[in-house]
Amino acid sequence: MKYHLRKVDELGRVVLPLELRMELNLQAGDCVTMRCENGRIWLEKNRATCWLCGSPENLVELENGASVCMSCAEKILQQAAQTDEQK
């Protein structure tokens, strides 16, 4: 395991070394989860999931950055079609 020393800037930011970003396939704009446990900070890359059901399968990213799975998208379209028919 290789250790990296970085300073925290005045805004609380820390730059992740390229080596770590490559290992986790972190790209600009990716979300990470941070937690503090036993005096350590844990940083994990978020795995995209559907914001409706939590499924990580068959995702489509929406304009607002949220993801929805195809199953939920189909249900939304079906419900919208039924609502239109009732009008």
What type of residue sits at position 53?
A: C
Q: What CATH number does the domain located at 7-46 have? A: 2.10.260.10
Q: What is the pLDDT of residues 14-52, one digit of tens each?
A: 999 999 999 888 888 887 888 999 999 998 887 788 989
Q: The whole model's pTM is what?
A: 0.51
pLDDT of residue 70: 95
Other C-beta atoms closer than 10 Å to the C-beta of 29 total 6
Q: Which of 47, 17, 14 is nearest to 33 (CA)?
A: 47
pLDDT of residue 8: 96
pLDDT of residue 23: 87
Q: Where are the domains of the chain?
A: 7-46, 48-87
